[in-house]
């Protein structure tokens, strides 16, 4: 049976076509985190798009138009989410002038008839309310300014929006950028042809969206290591009273199913044996480490405890492929970050193929300074989850395919 990953790997990439003299539109993902002063706090996503942009520049594309979203504006202009905040960084990284197009509808002719080698960045495409609605009119307008469409926005490739999906209907040549290919190859290495044993480390707060994918992944992995708020639902399923901890009642049955299915598939499950608990997240008076069975009345679990760090680290150390998605606790708060950071260290120290998915998990890895010691850090949170769920991401479905495929 062909897997979703094999199907996605069959798309044509930029290196399969000739961009010389062509107008290229690249859908990038410049949705970078910024602080309250609009300073970019992590430019990984911009850097990740550089190989594709530079390739087009080096191969004499006649114009390159970059399209991205940024934040969550409500389909209209909002200064806070303007892409003008990132243009300086982009120019510095590219070492090339980039022309900012505030109003792409009115500047369409200028871009469409451009005959010099120029790089344009369109204003946040989500200021157009047709973007999220996958409006064919917007797709057509975008298509009218290019000869070639390149999708390199892995972080948004699970969305069916005008610039990630709809546009493909109106452009003759449409291919994947190098980041899209790198992401798929990285997950392929971890899931299709892994060196065993393979461990999935999950945590974080998006319990409902992650717990269902566990069932899918159980067929592929050897060990399932669960921490963070996600593990609270599992501990509740084992009959422990998690008190005020964050967990989801509606998913207790799913957690039980996962435990049963893991047994049937011979997958070992690791759950926290001790927890850091607090009486309050914001203003803690009392913070304790307790066995997982002993969460005190009125307390909530906010991190894995030291015995769990040891247990998880040993299981991680004996794995040859590790996929990590979801922090082990409220890592944003120094008091509750130890478990996550120690697990980041344990994975980084492994002589294994190590891959990180999830925005917060990637951020936690960055904070430990261990990013270089991971084999691959995905730029897509939601997209990597859907990929693990076995889905074919819409950002890949309508791209041209290599000859002989399908």
Which region among 90-98, 116-124, 154-162, 323-331 touches ligand ADP (by CB under 6 A)? 323-331
141 is catalytic: no
Output the smallest distance, CB 44 to Mg ion, in A: 15
Among 73, 166, 177, 228, binds ligand ADP (CB under 6 A): 228
Which residues on adjacent β-strands are paired with residue 322? 199, 354
* Interface with ligand ADP, residue 339, by CB under 6 A: no
66, 123, 62: which is closest to 94 by C-alpha? Answer: 66
Report d(CA 379, CA 359) in Å as an integer.
Answer: 7
Which region among 132-140, 266-274, 326-334, 396-404 touches ligand ADP (by CB under 6 A)? 326-334
Report d(CA 115, CA 191) in Å as an integer.
Answer: 44
Quick one: tokens of 60? 């004499």
Quick one: tokens of 320? 């040859």
Site string for ligand ADP, 171-210 (x = CB under 6 A): --------------------------------xxxx----
317 is catalytic: no
74, 117, 115: which is closest to 99 by C-alpha? Answer: 117
45 is catalytic: yes
* Interface with ligand ADP, residue 325, by CB under 6 A: yes
Report d(CA 314, CA 322) in Å as an integer.
Answer: 13
- How many CB atoms within 10 Å of residue 355? 23
233, 234, 259: which is closest to 246 by C-alpha? Answer: 233
Q: Which does residue 128 bind out of ligand ADP, Mg ion, none, counting CB within 5 to 8 angstroms by kind?
A: none
Output the smallest distance, CB 359 to Mg ion, in A: 5
Give Cβ neighbours of residue 380 (< 8 Å, ≥ 6 apart). Answer: 29, 154, 155, 156, 157, 158, 183, 357, 387
- Binders of ligand ADP: how many residues, by CB under 6 A? 21
* Interface with Mg ion, residue 155, by CB under 5 A: no
* Interface with Mg ion, residue 370, by CB under 5 A: no
Which region among 36-44, 87-95, 341-349, 353-361 touches ligand ADP (by CB under 6 A)? 353-361
Residues between 233 and 252 with contacts to ligand ADP, criterion CB under 6 A: 246
* Interface with Mg ion, residue 394, by CB under 5 A: no
Quick one: tokens of 263? 């047994």
Which region among 2-10, 42-50, 52-60, 354-362 touches ligand ADP (by CB under 6 A)? 354-362
Among 183, 222, 236, 360, binds Mg ion (CB under 5 A): 360
Nearer to ligand ADP, 167 or 330 (CB): 330
158, 355, 326: which is closest to 234 by C-alpha? Answer: 326
Q: What is the dihedral of CA 179, 184, 190, 194, to 10 degrees?
A: -120
Which region among 236-244, 255-263, 356-364, 393-401 touches ligand ADP (by CB under 6 A)? 356-364
Quick one: tokens of 192? 């299709």
382 is catalytic: yes
Residues in the chain: 406
Output the smallest distance, CB 203 to ligand ADP, in A: 6
Among 25, 67, 217, 229, binds ligand ADP (CB under 6 A): 229
* Interface with Mg ion, residue 386, by CB under 5 A: no
Q: Based on the number of CB atoms within 10 Å of its own CB, is 31 exposed (0-12), middle (13-18) or buried (19 or more)?
A: buried
Residues between 87 and 106 with contacts to ligand ADP, criterion CB under 6 A: none
Site string for ligand ADP, 281-320 (x = CB under 6 A): --------------------xx------------------
- Binders of Mg ion: how many residues, by CB under 5 A? 2
Among 73, 130, 358, 395, binds ligand ADP (CB under 6 A): 358
Active-site choice (227, 357, 359, 395): 359
Give Cβ neighbours of residue 16 (< 8 Å, ≥ 6 apart). Answer: 175, 402
Do residues 258 and 218 make contact, with C-beta atoms less than 8 angstroms apart? Answer: yes
Active-site choice (12, 22, 23, 45): 45
Give Cβ neighbours of residue 26 (< 8 Å, ≥ 6 apart). Answer: 49, 52, 53, 56, 64, 65, 66, 67, 150, 151, 152, 177
* Active site members: 45, 206, 359, 382
Binding site for Mg ion (CB under 5 A): 359-360
Binding site for ligand ADP (CB under 6 A): 203-206, 228-229, 246, 301-302, 325-327, 329-332, 358-361, 381
């Amino acid at each position: 049976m062909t897997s979703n990953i094999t199907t996605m790997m069959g798309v044509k990439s930029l290196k399969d076509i000739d961009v010389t003299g062509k107008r290229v539109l690249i859908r990038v993902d410049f949705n970078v985190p910024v602080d309250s002063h609009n300073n970019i706090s992590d430019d990984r996503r911009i850097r990740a798009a550089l190989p594709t942009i530079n390739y087009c520049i080096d191969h004499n594309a006649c114009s390159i138009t970059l399209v991205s979203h940024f934040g969550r504006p409500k389909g209209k202009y909002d200064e806070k989410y303007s892409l003008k905040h990132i243009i300086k960084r982009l120019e510095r990284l590219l070492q090339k002038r980039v022309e900012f197009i505030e109003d792409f509808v009115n500047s369409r002719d200028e871009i469409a008839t451009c005959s010099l080698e120029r790089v344009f960045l369109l204003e946040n495409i989500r200021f157009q309310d047709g973007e999220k609605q996958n409006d064919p009119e917007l797709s057509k307008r975008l298509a009218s300014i290019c000869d070639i469409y390149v999708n390199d926005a892995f972080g948004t490739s699970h969305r069916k929006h005008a610039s990630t999906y709809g546009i493909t209907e109106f452009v003759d040549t449409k291919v994947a950028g190098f980041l899209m290919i790198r992401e798929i190859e990285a997950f392929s290495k971890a899931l299709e042809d892994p060196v065993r044993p393979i461990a999935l480390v999950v945590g974080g707060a998006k319990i409902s969206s992650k717990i269902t994918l566990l069932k899918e992944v159980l067929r592929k992995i050897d060990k399932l290591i669960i921490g963070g708020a996600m593990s609270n639902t599992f501990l509740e399923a084992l009959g422990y009273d998690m008190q005020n901890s964050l967990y989801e009642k509606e998913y207790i049955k799913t957690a039980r199913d996962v435990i049963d299915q893991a047994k049937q598939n011979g997958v070992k499950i690791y759950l926290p044996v001790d927890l850091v608990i607090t009486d309050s997240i914001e203003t803690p008076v009392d913070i304790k480490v307790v066995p997982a069975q002993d969460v005190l009345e009125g307390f909530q679990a906010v991190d894995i405890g030291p015995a769990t760090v040891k247990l998880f680290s040993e299981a991680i150390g004996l794995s040859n492929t590790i996929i990590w998605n979801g922090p082990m606790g409220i890592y944003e708060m120094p008091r509750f970050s130890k478990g996550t950071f120690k697990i980041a260290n344990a994975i980084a120290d492994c002589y294994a193929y190590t891959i990180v998915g999830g925005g917060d998990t990637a951020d936690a890895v960055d904070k430990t300074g261990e990013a270089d010691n991971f084999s691959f850090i995905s730029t897509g949170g939601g997209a990597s989850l859907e990929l693990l769920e076995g889905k074919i991401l819409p950002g890949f479905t309508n791209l041209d395919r290599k000859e002989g495929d399908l």
